């Protein structure tokens, strides 16, 4: 008889979990630049927010806490019913998510602050199959754009590959006329997200996150607080620090067009 580890089984079905790992960025053109740093991401089931709110005294949903998740930080920023918003996006593309889960991978708020350069929604149908992924991208100008990509032929344990032309200004050191290739392994014991950006001249940039699942508990949150202090403040600080390093290396500046110019 095969015995199931109760702690692992509880972790697998919990409404929220932590994924600890590393973010890596590598740039090959027009200048070479690379960095990586440790991060912790939150995975949360948008249909089980009330349960997630009770997982730890240090974690809150739509309320102040040491670590927290707020629906208004995502989507259109209108607050509650983020799951309904995502299902509406899916329905516009002919995909029915009724009876399925929507899992969001993002940074939580830490001490009330969060900035998410990329949040990923894993959208499952009633059959349990992954039907849709949404890559929600934010820039430092307060703008947001979603790449909404149906999943073709998803199979357990297999990497999902998708592609999309770039439509949204993110970095002042990255040209717009490029293409994204997404490679993801949906969240299980591990989660992997890799984005390769290429132009007509070939690959120029890659970003990746790989994390290992941990239960969302008070001890694990405290370990994160001391092991990765001021995590979300570091995210926005790192964006500006790496931008300065690129400027010093002579990376060409790409002007951001105003909405009326696009």
Helix (H) or strand (E) holding 66: none
Distance CA 175, CA 186 (A): 29
Q: Let me know the angle formed at the C-alpha of 172 by 241 and 19, rounded to the nearest 5 degrees.
A: 55
Q: Are 23 and 14 in contact (CB under 8 A)?
A: no
Is pLDDT above 50 for 128? yes
Mean pLDDT of the chain: 90
Q: Name residue 130's beta-bridge partners.
A: 124
Task: Determine how many CB atoms are found less than 10 A away from the CB of residue 91.
Answer: 12
Q: What is the average pLDDT across 224-228? A: 92
The string of pLDDT tens digits covering residues 159-185 is 999 999 999 999 888 889 999 999 999
Q: What one-character DSSP code corresponds to residue 158? A: P
Residue-wise pLDDT for 21-72, tens only, equals 999 999 998 889 998 999 999 999 999 999 999 999 999 999 999 999 999 9
Residue 258: band (very low, low, confident or very high) from pLDDT cuts 50, 70, 90 = low
Q: What angle do CA 71, 73, 75 make, to 5 degrees?
A: 75
Terminal Cα distance for the chain, rounded: 62
Q: How confident is the model at residue 230 (pLDDT cuts 50, 70, 90)?
A: confident
Determine the Cα–Cα distance for residues 130 and 150; give it in Å rounded to an integer. Answer: 9
Domain ranges of the chain: 16-253
DSSP 8-class letter at 124: E
Contacts with 234 (C-beta within 8 Å, 6 or more apart), sequence order:
37, 228
Both tokens assigned to 11: 């972790």
């Amino acid at each position: 008889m095969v015995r199931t580890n109760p702690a692992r089984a509880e972790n697998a079905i919990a409404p929220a979990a932590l994924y600890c790992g590393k973010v890596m960025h590598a740039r090959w053109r027009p200048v070479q630049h690379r960095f990586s740093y440790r991060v912790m991401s939150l995975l949360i089931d948008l249909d089980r927010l009330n349960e997630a709110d009770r997982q730890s005294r240090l974690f809150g949903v739509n309320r102040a806490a040491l670590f927290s998740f707020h629906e208004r930080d995502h989507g259109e920023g209108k607050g509650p019913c983020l799951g309904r918003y995502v299902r509406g996006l899916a329905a516009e593309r002919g995909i029915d998510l009724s009876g399925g889960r929507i899992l969001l991978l993002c940074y939580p708020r830490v001490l009330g602050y969060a900035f998410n350069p990329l949040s990923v929604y894993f959208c499952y149908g009633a059959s349990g199959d992954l039907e849709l992924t949404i890559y929600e991208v934010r820039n430092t100008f307060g703008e947001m754009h979603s790449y909404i990509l149906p999943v073709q032929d998803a199979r357990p344990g297999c990497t999902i590959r998708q592609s999309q032309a770039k439509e949204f200004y993110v970095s002042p050191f990255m040209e717009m006329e490029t293409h994204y290739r997404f490679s993801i392994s949906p969240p299980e014991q591990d989660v992997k997200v890799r984005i390769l950006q290429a132009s007509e001249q070939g690959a120029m940039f890659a970003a990746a996150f790989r994390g290992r699942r941990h239960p969302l508990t008070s001890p694990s949150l405290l370990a994160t607080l001391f092991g990765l202090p001021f995590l979300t403040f570091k995210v926005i600080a790192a964006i500006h620090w790496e931008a300065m390093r690129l400027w010093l290396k002579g990376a060409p500046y790409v002007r951001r067009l105003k909405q009326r110019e696009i």
